Structures are given as structure tokens and as C-alpha cells.
């Protein structure tokens, strides 16, 4: 799934096309395009190797990808699974409308059971407050967030000119921390919305007449 909707992507590509001068020589234009693809491929392979050395499970999904506009794509699994036992992946992508940059992104589908419970209890406001709290915590990490209910999309654009290992690692860490924040806040909301257990007082019946007289005194 792309980090942005189709309309946003098309608008971005139209703006780039309109502002970029067309090459006067078709052969020169094709050669330049091949050169850009070669640079992207080389950088993609380099970053994938870095991630694998750092212990991440990385799968090259370029050939399997069916999303228009994505030239190279890798799926990365975080090193530590989350509390649910699942491991939400994030993606490293080179797109055709970004010549000198790449994107790391992920997507979450929120727990529908929590949403249904909140709405049934007339607590839809709590859902909105959770979104606001997530944005307040994530944006300082310099990670962009798109609310597309019931999905939350996180992404970060990185320009690869003079990109070094330290900065790239920090970008990956920022995205993973953002993922952990979302999971943590949603788990917190889950435990807050669990129905309270009803305490029942059980009255014990006394069958002994003598004891009954004592307790009544």
C-alpha cells in the first residue's frame, strides 16, 4: 500500500512534470533516466546490506511489488516483536517521482473492537483524543503521519546524497519508535476501555440455629 492516496500521488507527479524542463534530445533523456535508475539500484542494495548487518530481517519485494511508481522495495521486520506477538513490517522504497530520495514507511490498522466499544458507550471523543496524543508524541520524532481511519500511516523521506550510516540508522530508529508509540497508546486505550468486573456480594446462609442466635445479639 502506498504511503499516500492516488490523488496526492498524481498531483505530486503533475507538479514535478510541469516544473521539469523536457530534454531537447530524446537519446540524452533516456540515458539520464538509466543513470538515475542505476544510482537508485546501487543505493538500494547498499541500504539493504546495512540493515541486514544491523540484524534486521530484510526481504527484497521489488519483483513482487504491484504498486505503480515504486521502482525498488524492501520489507523490513523489526528485531523485537510487539506485545501482541505480531511483528508489523516497515518498507524501504525508491519511487519514480523522487529522483534523489527514498521513503521508509509503515501502516497500522487500528483495533476495530476498541472503536466499536467506545462508540457504543458514547465515548467517541476518547478515540479522537487518542489520535491527538499519538500525533503529539510522533511528530517531534520527525516522522510524518497520515490519518486515514481506520489506518494510521507513518513515513519519512530521506535524501540519499551523502547519506551516512549514522543518520540512516537514526531515521530507522525514529520510525520504529513511532511504531512503538502507536502500539503502546492503542494497548493503553484497550486496557482503559475493558468493562469493569462486577463484584458480587455473596450472602452466606447459616444453618446452625445456635450460631444464628449469637450473631443476632
Task: Tell me the pLDDT tens digit for each residue of 104-115.
Answer: 999 987 766 666
- Asked if residue 40 lies in contact with residue 92, where contact means CB atoms within 8 angstroms, the answer is no
The reply to whether 213 falls in a domain is no
The reply to whether 55 falls in a domain is yes
The reply to whether 35 falls in a domain is yes
Q: How confident is the model at residue 84 (pLDDT cuts 50, 70, 90)?
A: low
The reply to whether 208 falls in a domain is no
Helix, strand, or coil (residue 124) = helix
The reply to whether 50 falls in a domain is yes
The reply to whether 83 falls in a domain is yes
Check which CATH number belongs to the domain holding 35 and give it.
3.30.1460.10
pTM above 0.75, yes or no: no
Task: Please state the domain count of the chain.
Answer: 1
Q: Which domain holds residue 96?
A: 6-194
A 10 A CB-CB count for 133 gives 14
What pLDDT sits at residue 125? Answer: 76
The reply to whether 60 falls in a domain is yes
Amino acid at each position: 500500500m502506498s504511503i499516500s492516496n492516488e490523488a496526492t500521488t498524481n498531483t505530486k507527479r503533475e507538479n514535478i512534470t510541469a516544473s521539469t524542463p523536457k530534454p531537447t534530445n530524446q537519446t540524452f533523456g533516456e540515458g539520464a533516466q538509466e543513470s538515475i535508475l542505476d544510482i537508485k539500484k546501487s543505493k538500494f542494495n547498499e541500504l539493504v546490506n546495512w540493515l541486514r548487518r544491523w540484524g534486521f530481517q530484510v526481504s527484497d519485494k521489488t519483483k513482487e511489488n504491484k504498486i505503480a511508481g515504486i521502482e525498488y522495495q524492501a520489507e523490513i521486520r523489526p528485531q523485537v516483536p510487539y506485545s501482541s506477538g505480531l511483528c508489523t513490517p516497515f518498507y524501504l522504497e525508491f519511487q519514480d517521482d523522487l529522483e534523489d530520495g527514498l521513503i521508509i514507511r509503515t501502516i497500522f490498522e487500528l483495533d476495530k473492537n476498541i472503536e466499536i466499544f467506545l462508540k457504543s458507550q458514547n465515548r467517541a471523543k476518547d478515540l479522537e483524543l487518542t489520535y491527538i496524543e499519538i500525533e503529539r508524541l510522533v511528530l517531534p520524532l520527525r516522522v510524518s503521519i497520515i490519518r486515514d481511519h481506520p489506518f494510521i500511516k507513518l513515513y519519512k523521506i530521506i535524501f540519499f546524497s551523502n547519506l551516512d550510516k549514522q543518520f540512516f540508522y537514526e531515521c530507522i530508529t525514529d520510525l520504529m519508535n513511532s511504531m512503538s508509540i502507536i502500539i503502546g497508546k492503542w494497548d493503553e486505550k484497550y486496557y482503559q476501555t475493558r468493562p469493569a468486573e462486577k463484584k458480587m456480594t455473596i450472602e452466606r446462609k447459616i444453618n446452625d440455629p445456635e450460631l444464628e442466635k449469637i450473631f443476632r445479639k
